[in-house]
Each structure stands twice: as C-alpha cells, then as structure tokens.
Structure 1
Amino acid sequence: MFVRTLTAGSFVVADYVVFAIMLVVSAAVGVYFAWTDRRQKSSKEFLTGGRRLNALPVSLSLTASFMSAITVLSNPAEVYCYGAIIGFYAVSYLLTMLITSEIFLPVFYKLTITSTYEYLELRFNRATRLLGTMLFIVQTVLYTGIVIYAPALALNQVTGLDLWGAVISTGVVCTFYCTMGGLKAVVWTDVIQLGVMLAGFLAVIIQSAALQGGVITIISDSQQGGRLNFLDFDPNPLRRHTFWTMSIGGTFIWVGVYGINQAQVQRYISCKSMTHARLSLYINLLGLWSILLSSVFAGMCLYSVYKDCDPWSVGLVSAPDQLMPYLVMDILAGYPGLPGLFVAAAYSGSLSTVSSSINALAAVTVEDLIRPHAKLSEKHLSWISKGMSLSYGVLCIGMAGLASLMGGALQAAISIFGIIGGPLLGLFTLGILCPSANSKGGLVGLVSGLVVSLWVGIGAQVYPPPSELTKPLPLSTDGCNFTTADSFNWTSAALPMQPNSTATVPLHDDDGRSLMYSLSYLYFSPLGTIISISVGLIVSMLTGGCRQQVESRLLLKKEDTTFYHFIKLFKCRAKRQSRQLNLEKDREKKFGNTNPVFSDLELDLTKSSIAL
C-alpha cells in the first residue's frame, strides 16, 4: 500500500519537454498547411479541405473531435464514483453510426453544402436557418468553454501552473493552427492528438496493473467494490445512469453530434466520395470504442489503487475531475516524462475538440450569416473565415470562465448537448423524414422543444435531484496512512454519502415539487427531440403541410441507404436460385428425381426470400 502524502508529485524537466513537443507539433501542422495551401482562394477550401480527404484521417479526426479532455479526466472519475456502467455508451455509439450513415449522411453529402444549416433554409425558410445557426453557436461556445477549462484544471492540479495561464495557452495554440491551416490542419492535428490520448491512457493502465499485481486484480477489486455494475436494467427515468439511459439517451445525444452537428458533418462531407464518408464513420466507431474502453479501464485502475484511501473524501483533491491527475503524479512521478505524457493527452483532447469547434463556428458564421447578406469575393471570404477563427478562439477562452461554475465537466457538457442539440435533432429529422412538415411546423416545433428542454434543464440546476438519485458508490478511507499529521483534511471535501440501493424515489419531494426536474440528464435530448417532432407534425398538418411539394433531394430516399442495396442484392440472389430451381424441376419432369438439388425446406426459404 502507498503511503499518502499531501502532494503527490510535481513536474520535472522531462515532463515539460514531452508536453512542449506536443504543442510544437500541433502548431507546426498549422504552419505546414498554411504554406502548402497558401494559394487557396476559396473559403470552401479553407473550411472543407476542397472535399478531397480520405476516409482514414477523417475517421480519426471524427473520433478525436468529441473525445476531449472531458473523456480523459471525467470518464475515469465517473467510473471511480458511479461504476463502469458508462461502458454502455458503446451501444449508443453503434446505433449512432448506423443512423447517421443511413439517414443524415446521404442527404447532406449529395447537397454539397458547407454549413449544415443551409439545409434548413432549403427545406424550410431563412428564419429557421438563422435560429438553428444561433443555437449551434451558443451550444458550441458553451461546450468549448468547458473543454478548455477541464485540462487547465488538470495542469493546475499536477504542476501548480497558473490556472488561467493554462486556459489562455490552450486557446491560443488552437486558434493559431485553426487560423493558419483550416480544416486540413484540424484533421491532421486530431490524428496526432488521438495517438497521444491513447498513449497517455496506456501509461496509466500499464503502471497501475504492474503496481496492483495485474489486470485480474484490478478487475477483481472493481467487482468487489461494486464498480462492475453492468446489470442495471432499471427503467426508472429518474435514475442517473442505467442501461436504458446510456443506450437510449446516449444515442439521441450522439446522433445530435454526428448526425447534424457542424463540427462532425463538416468532416465527413469533406471526403472525396460517399463511400469514403461512410467508411470514415465506421472506422471512427472502432476509435470511439478504443477510447471508451481505455477510459473505463483507467477508472477501474483508479478505484483499485485508492479503494482503501479515497483522495476526494480526505481533501487531497477538491473535485472528482482531479482524481486522474492525482493518480498520475502518485504512480508515475518516478518515471520522468510520463506525467508530461498524460497531461499532453488531456491537453490533446482539449486541442482536438476546441479546434474542431472553432473551425465549425467559422464555417456557419461565414456561410449562414455573412455570405447570404454580403456580395464578397471568395478571396475576401477566405480572409474573413480566418478572422472568424481568430475571433471565436478569443471568445471560447472567455467562456472558460463560465465553465468553472458548471460543476462536473462530464455532466455539464452532455447537458448542454441535450438541452440544445435535442430540439435541433428533432428539426432536422422532421425535414429529412417527414415530407408533410412545413416551415411553420418546423419553427414552432423547434421553439417548443427548446422551451421544454430549457425548462427541465434549468429546473434541474435550481432544484437538484434527491440524494437517493445522485449518491456515489461506497468510498473508503480506512486504509489511509499519511506521512504528515495535518494532511488528513476533512474540511475541504465532505465524505460522500453512501448509497442506499433499496431506497424508493417518491413522486414528489417534501416541498411538493414535481420530480420532473430529477429526470436523468441523458434524457434531456430525447425529450427535446420528441417534443420538436410531435409539435412540428401537428402544426404542419393544421397549416396545410400535407398539400405541399418538397424537392426529392431534400428528403431521404430509400435508394440512398445501404440497407436498400443489401435487400436488392438479396432479392437478386433469390431470383437466381428460383430460376435454378425451375430448371431443376423441368429436368425432374423429363428424367426423374435422381439427384435433387433443392429440398422442400430450401424451396420454402427461397419463396420467402422472394416475397421480401
């Protein structure tokens, strides 16, 4: 057992060198693409890479874009406090890629649009497009503020560097290579940063396994501590994390990211063909699973090391998001360079997400707010795109101050995507799948979904859910053995309350308030989506939507889906078998059944497949 001290460790020269190398390489990529594309004269080349990118780098960039420092720091802390049930995000990732590939990708790719919100004007009207654009800008700026603040907090915890100095440096580096190199720089730095993130996780996992006596010991400790809580199929929507909240709520949230979010759509429509775009989504799925598995197992390592002496309970860290940096300095301080590698991993997660967001914000501003209202040359628009990247970089740095007030980074980030992304997802779904939806229905549906989502989301902040719904799993301090008498500090963080698994949640609390505000934050997105679609369809039918004509290119056609082509291929094979069967039957009539090719069962199966 370790002997715990008040300070786990500090950076040495080798750590700073590793960290600096990652920053220099990221900046150098921006300079490289700024030089190689110095003759580009179009804003679309700057924002979409000329639509000439291959599937592999785009897929890795898709993975890195929203696998941010929140993933590196908050996912392991989530497993430590609440268990590994977040591993069910793997189910939502799979469903997300299927839905995005089959429903949203075919429509957006064929329209060759730069901004996702151009679709809203084509399908509905200008007002709907502008409202969608403004909601996206607000959502992305808020989220990016959290992403900048999270790794800065890690740096402050493990190195003692000034917190806001780290915030500003994060924003400056991102803004620099986004402004210099455009989408190509963002994509290729994402590739590098994804590798650094995986390397940081591996460093922690390998050392923890060596320290604890192997992977089996870590799994056993997690099992005994109740962290392998995968068999939670409670349908109660008030429960924070269950199989249903993770798989259903998570799918809505991630479809809102991959299906309609400008940062992701802008990447896969930059591929040189739809096949490459689809392939990038499915390769990206493997990357998402790898990062999720790494972060969940890192959380299990965190619990195994501190199962008898919780640093959060005794005040060695002030928030769960600081647990991973503390572990790193505790177990890797004796290996110069490895703490720097982990902090570089957290920083890489931040850089990849912030750069993607800045590039996407610049794209929607130029395409939705400037180009339609100003007659400017492509050269001028290209310079304006770079100016927008710079401006949004500065704005996102400022928003990091607000992020410091939002509590846990993971829940805050997902809540933002649910509250704003859910209604937007409903609007796009109306446009693509519902020919009867008109502009009045789309606009009213979007506003209705947003109002309900904001009502529930803000209510959840004003009236926090009952403690029965938010208690962490048991955390122990029985094994703590400090070297400094005053290091056992009970004043900076209270011992988390132990959960009561048999507690029942009443329909109303003591003040008579409805527990609607206690709805799991993962259900904010489904709520907003369903309200938007339902209200939108009703209003559209009442205002003549059934009589309107919609261009076929704005709707999903069955010919655009791979499922349709699989069915078509299956039918062709069935027809060939049927023809062969008829030939065999003719032969039998002439020569007798001496060598039957098809049995009665095969005949029935063939007829069934033809009927499909």
Structure 2
Amino acid sequence: MNTIDLIVFFVYILGIALFGGSFFKKNRTSEAYTLGDKTIPSWVVTMSIFATFVSSISYLALPGNAFQSNWNALAFSLSLPISTLIAVKYFVPLYRKINSPSAYTYMELRFGPWARIYVSLCYLLTQLMRIGTILYLLALTLNAIIGWDIATIIIFTGLIVAVYSMLGGISAVLWTDAIQGIILIVGAVACIVFMLYAMPEGPGQIFSIAAANDKFSLGSFDLDLTQPTFWVVLIYGVFINLQNYGIDQNYVQRYMISKSDKEAQKSALIGGLIYLPISALFLFIGTALFAYYHSATTLPIELQDAAKSDRVFPYFIVHALPPGLTGLMIASIFAAGMSTISTSFNSSATVFLTDYYDKYFKKTASDKQRMRVLYISSAIISIIGIGIGIAMINVKSALDAWWKLSSIFSGGMLGLFLLGLFSHHKNVKGAIIGVIAGILVILWMSTANIFLGEDTVGTSFHTYLTIVFGTIAIFLVGFLASIFMKPKEE
C-alpha cells in the first residue's frame, strides 16, 4: 500500500471512531444505550440491518467462491424473501407487542426462565465466537496486504470498535452501520467498474470467458442431499436466515428501535432484501476476477492453489487497483467487519443486562447502576472476543470451527422459538424433551464422521442440513411430547 491508500484507510478508521463517539452525550441512560431515543430515521435502521448481515466474510468468501466454482451461493440469497416475509409477518409484531429490549423475554413467557437462560446463553456464546472469527479474518486480510502483525491488528481493530460502540451506544452503532453499508456498496461497484474496463478486449470479454467456463451456473438441481446442490443451499438459507431475522438479538433490537410497527416491518423486509442484489455483485466480482486473470497468459502463482480462493480478491486489490481505490476497498472490507462486530458488542451487553442482571442480580437497580453494567459487560465481551481472535491464530480453520458451533447453537434456538410460536400447548416438559432431541440430532450429524468414519448415517447428508434437521427435530418432538403430556385441565 502506498501513502495515498494508507491515508484513505486511516482517515476512514479515525472518522468512524470519532463519529461514533460523538453520540456520547445522547447516550446517558440505559434505554438510550439499548434502544436509542426513538428519533433514528427508518432508512438508518434499514441500512443497519443490511450492514449487520454483511460481514467481511461475505466480502471475501463470495468472490472467492465464484472465482473457484460458480454462482451456487446465490441460492442462499434467494432464500431471503421467504425468510424475511415469515419474520415480518410473525416475529416482528410479536416482539413489538412484548416490548422488551431482549429477544429472549418471549421464551420465559412461553416456557419459563430455563428457556430464556438457554437461548440467551446460546446467543452470547455464538456472538463471542463470531466476534473472534471476524477479528481474526480481518487481521488475516490486512496481514496479507501490508504485512502487519496479526495479533496487533486484532487488538487495534477490537479496541477501536469497542470504544465507539460503548461511547455512542446503539445510536452510534446504527449510524456507523448505515455509513459502513454505503461504503461497502460503493467499494464493490467501483471495483466492478474498474474490472469491466480493465479487460484487454473490453467488458464483453468477462461474459464470454465466464459463459465458456459455466461460471454463471447456480449449481446442480438434482435432489441429492449429500451435495451442496441448489436445493440444499436454498433450504439451508431459509433456516439460517429465519434464525437471523426471526430470533437473533442483533436484528430484534433494531425492530424495537423503529418508531412504529409498520416502520419495523418495512426496515426488516427491505434490510433483508437489499442483500440479494449486493450478494450478486460480490459473486460477479469473483466471476470477473476469473475472467480477468484467465485473460492473461498465465495465472499468478499465488492464485493457482484452489484452497486459497478467498485470497483472490485481496490479491487483486493490492496488485491491480490504482492508488486510492485500494485504500477504499480495504476500508470497505473493514466496514463490513466493523459493522457486524459493533452490533455484537451492543446487543450482547443488552442481553446480559436484560436477561441476567435485571432478572437475577438486582431487580431494582438505578439507571446509573444499569449503565455501569452495560459498560462493564461491553468491555468484558470485547476483551474475550479479542482473546478468541488471537487464539485462532494457530487454528487450522477458524471458519470451520465457527460454522460447527453456529450450527449447534442456532439449531437449538430456532427450533425452540418455532415451537413456542406455533404450538398452543404450554408444556415445559415437552419443550425440554424437544430441545434434548434436537441437540442430539445436531451433535450426531456434526460429529458422527469424527468418531465413526465417513460412511455413517450422520454424514449421509450434507453438513448444511444440520441446522435443518436439528430445528425440525426440536419442533416435532417437542410438539408431539406436549400433546401426549398435556395436563388434563388443559
């Protein structure tokens, strides 16, 4: 990176930190810290939902995936209309009616305190792993580009995001998310325009090379559940996105910030649907990169290893883009990661305050005491997240570890929420039996190949379907158990 790129990058980082911290004066109460002041425009909430969904993983993994294979990953995005419509119709009105900062208050109302503790603990563990994973991947990217120490980058990035998200509360998170969402879109579009006119034979060469190599394919349409076919990815997308937009605190908190039910539903719908065309942009970047490098005489040696496809985009940013645009693209990658991390910091602190401190430590705490808890819990969460990111430096595949843990926790949470929403029986024992059954299914599908080899029942389905079968098991077993164990008076 030259001086211009470094200036662009550091101006962005410093500007975001100062802008986020400027909300400190409006952030003097626990309600303002967790729900804002009810004056945040709906477009900011919408862009924040979008930016929370897009992480630096998407910014790097989607182009790498399209470069290596095809547009099969678009099936995941095509599931968004289904998931967001369900969330808008059933979940958003539910949370607005309960009117709690925490998404998990509903679990206690349906099944008792144990359910609230279970799902909120799953959420907190998932967020810590998510923070560490994104910090590590951001550091890995910057290390590959400019050679800085990975641990130093993790600490630097984590502290910057922690400081502005703590000082500015949810208002700072929402406004910086909105700005970062715009920056990452501008960066992606600028990169595509550059590639279109950098081709030796003009923009049309991208499409001719891509078509000749079947790069626009959406994957196999066979009904094969052992491979990542179009249908497997689509079904996986429906469940994981329903978990995101339906029960994840990161999103539910934004529904509660909206001024009215109608605005909350509108922000949830549009914020989710924006990702569909943007993910297509990321995939097109990968396809264009394939055409760009295959139009040359030889493929750079750094890109010949198919296992390193995620590094294609960073390599292009450093070696092909003009000064200034390189800095903008790196800022875009960090924008995607920082928006997700800041959301996790604030939402995790909100869950700790609402689901634990207010319930079990001090029910009559003053607002000053509650603010102290929010600051301390945010600081602790950021420190643990930074620690997890540093610990991942020696992990062979941080992304694999994240997906396995995410699948286990997400499956348990979503199944229990669906059971509460669509079952009319308030049978605690039935819900507990359902959760145990679902977790056993998820654990079996996640670990069977480790203990029993590849040719087992647990591995006869693709790993994407783990959350699908786990969620279905919790719902069906819990539903049937609730019917058979229904008290006579009910």
**What band does the TM-score fall into relative to the shorter chain?**
over 0.9
Following the alignment from structure 1 to structure 2, what is the Cα–Cα distance between the partners of residues 437 and 528?
A: 21
- Are 2:184 and 2:335, in contact at CA under 8 Å, matched by a contact in 1? yes
Following the alignment from structure 1 to structure 2, what is the Cα–Cα distance between the partners of residues 49 and 459?
A: 46
Within 5 Å, give how 1:377-388 maps onto structure 2: 377-388=366-377
The CA RMSD measured in Å over matched residues stands at 2.2
Following the alignment from structure 2 to structure 1, what is the Cα–Cα distance between the partners of residues 280 and 31?
A: 36
What's the CA shift string for 1:161-204, capped at 9, x where partnerless? 11111111111111011110111100000011112211221232
Counterpart check, 1:432 vs 2:374? no
AA at the equivalent of 1:427: L
Match of 1:148 among 135, 151, 162: 135
Cα shift at 1:305: 2.1
SS of 2:247 mapped into structure 1: coil
1:408 and 1:297, CA in 2 relative to 1: closer, same or farther beyond 3 A? farther
Following the alignment from structure 2 to structure 1, what is the Cα–Cα distance between the partners of residues 332 and 7?
A: 14
1:95 and 1:215, CA in 2 relative to 1: closer, same or farther beyond 3 A? farther
Following the alignment from structure 2 to structure 1, what is the Cα–Cα distance between the partners of residues 244 and 282?
A: 20
What's the CA shift string for 1:245-280, capped at 9, x where partnerless? 221111100110110000111111210100000110
Aligned partner of 1:264 in structure 2 is 251
- Are 1:124 and 1:442, in contact at CA under 8 Å, matched by a contact in 2? yes
Match of 1:20 among 10, 16, 23: 10
1:218 and 1:145, CA in 2 relative to 1: closer, same or farther beyond 3 A? same
Following the alignment from structure 2 to structure 1, what is the Cα–Cα distance between the partners of residues 112 and 462?
A: 34
In structure 1, the gaps of 5 or more residues are 1-10, 464-508, 549-612
Following the alignment from structure 2 to structure 1, what is the Cα–Cα distance between the partners of residues 206 and 264?
A: 39
Aligned partner of 1:527 in structure 2 is 469
1:329 and 1:85, CA in 2 relative to 1: closer, same or farther beyond 3 A? same
What's the CA shift string for 1:36-67, capped at 9, x where partnerless? x15x33x2221111444332111100010120
Match of 1:341 among 302, 307, 328: 328
Cα shift at 1:446: 2.0
Aligned partner of 2:237 in structure 1 is 250
Aligned partner of 1:445 in structure 2 is 434
Counterpart check, 1:291 vs 2:278? yes
What's the CA shift string for 1:298-333, capped at 9, x where partnerless? 111121123352645646x9733222100111211x
Following the alignment from structure 2 to structure 1, what is the Cα–Cα distance between the partners of residues 171 and 473?
A: 38
Following the alignment from structure 2 to structure 1, what is the Cα–Cα distance between the partners of residues 488 and 323?
A: 68
Match of 2:225 among 211, 218, 237: 237
Following the alignment from structure 1 to structure 2, what is the Cα–Cα distance between the partners of residues 138 and 518?
A: 28
Counterpart check, 1:457 vs 2:457? no
TM-score (norm. length: structure 1): 0.75
Match of 2:214 among 226, 236, 245: 226
Aligned partner of 1:57 in structure 2 is 44
1:249 and 1:263, CA in 2 relative to 1: closer, same or farther beyond 3 A? same
Counterpart check, 1:327 vs 2:269? no
Following the alignment from structure 2 to structure 1, what is the Cα–Cα distance between the partners of residues 374 and 263?
A: 26
Within 5 Å, give how 1:81-100 maps onto structure 2: 81-100=68-87
Within 5 Å, give how 1:66-215 maps onto structure 2: 66-212=53-199, 213-215=201-203
Cα shift at 1:219: 2.3
SS of 2:72 mapped into structure 1: helix
Following the alignment from structure 2 to structure 1, what is the Cα–Cα distance between the partners of residues 445 and 390?
A: 24
Aligned partner of 2:481 in structure 1 is 539
More displaced stretch, 411-420 vs 92-101: 411-420
AA at the equivalent of 1:220: S
- Are 1:436 and 1:547, in contact at CA under 8 Å, matched by a contact in 2? no
What's the CA shift string for 1:331-387, capped at 9, x where partnerless? 11xx21111111111111110000111111101111111111213112210221122
- Are 1:153 and 1:322, in contact at CA under 8 Å, matched by a contact in 2? no
Following the alignment from structure 2 to structure 1, what is the Cα–Cα distance between the partners of residues 191 and 86?
A: 34
Following the alignment from structure 1 to structure 2, what is the Cα–Cα distance between the partners of residues 349 and 310?
A: 27
Following the alignment from structure 1 to structure 2, what is the Cα–Cα distance between the partners of residues 28 and 75?
A: 31
Cα shift at 1:222: 1.8
Cα shift at 1:403: 4.1
AA at the equivalent of 1:156: N
- Are 2:42 and 2:258, in contact at CA under 8 Å, matched by a contact in 1? yes
Following the alignment from structure 1 to structure 2, what is the Cα–Cα distance between the partners of residues 425 and 32?
A: 37
Match of 2:387 among 398, 404, 410: 398
Cα shift at 1:216: 2.8
Cα shift at 1:415: 4.2
What's the CA shift string for 1:75-119, capped at 9, x where partnerless? 111111221111122321111110100111111111101111111
Following the alignment from structure 2 to structure 1, what is the Cα–Cα distance between the partners of residues 488 and 435?
A: 19
AA at the equivalent of 2:24: A
- Are 1:436 and 1:545, in contact at CA under 8 Å, matched by a contact in 2? no
Following the alignment from structure 1 to structure 2, what is the Cα–Cα distance between the partners of residues 411 and 301?
A: 27
TM-score (norm. length: structure 2): 0.93
Within 5 Å, give how 1:401-412 maps onto structure 2: 401-404=390-393
Following the alignment from structure 1 to structure 2, what is the Cα–Cα distance between the partners of residues 188 and 519?
A: 42
More displaced stretch, 410-419 vs 353-362: 410-419
Q: Percent identity, aligned pairs only?
A: 28
1:244 and 1:55, CA in 2 relative to 1: closer, same or farther beyond 3 A? same
Following the alignment from structure 1 to structure 2, what is the Cα–Cα distance between the partners of residues 294 and 546?
A: 57
Following the alignment from structure 2 to structure 1, what is the Cα–Cα distance between the partners of residues 301 and 382?
A: 35
SS of 1:129 mapped into structure 2: helix
Cα shift at 1:444: 2.4
- Are 2:196 and 2:203, in contact at CA under 8 Å, matched by a contact in 1? yes
1:221 and 1:459, CA in 2 relative to 1: closer, same or farther beyond 3 A? farther
What's the CA shift string for 1:104-136, capped at 9, x where partnerless? 111111110111111111111111111111111
Following the alignment from structure 1 to structure 2, what is the Cα–Cα distance between the partners of residues 232 and 20?
A: 44
Following the alignment from structure 1 to structure 2, what is the Cα–Cα distance between the partners of residues 404 and 234?
A: 39
Aligned partner of 1:216 in structure 2 is 204
Aligned partner of 1:418 in structure 2 is 407
Cα shift at 1:515: 5.5
The structure with the larger Rg is 1
AA at the equivalent of 2:471: T
- Are 1:116 and 1:262, in contact at CA under 8 Å, matched by a contact in 2? yes
Aligned partner of 1:47 in structure 2 is 34
Following the alignment from structure 1 to structure 2, what is the Cα–Cα distance between the partners of residues 458 and 74?
A: 25
- Are 1:209 and 1:218, in contact at CA under 8 Å, matched by a contact in 2? yes
Counterpart check, 1:279 vs 2:269? no
- In the comparison of the two structures, how many residue pairs are matched? 484
Following the alignment from structure 1 to structure 2, what is the Cα–Cα distance between the partners of residues 512 and 174?
A: 42
Following the alignment from structure 2 to structure 1, what is the Cα–Cα distance between the partners of residues 390 and 460?
A: 27
AA at the equivalent of 1:525: I
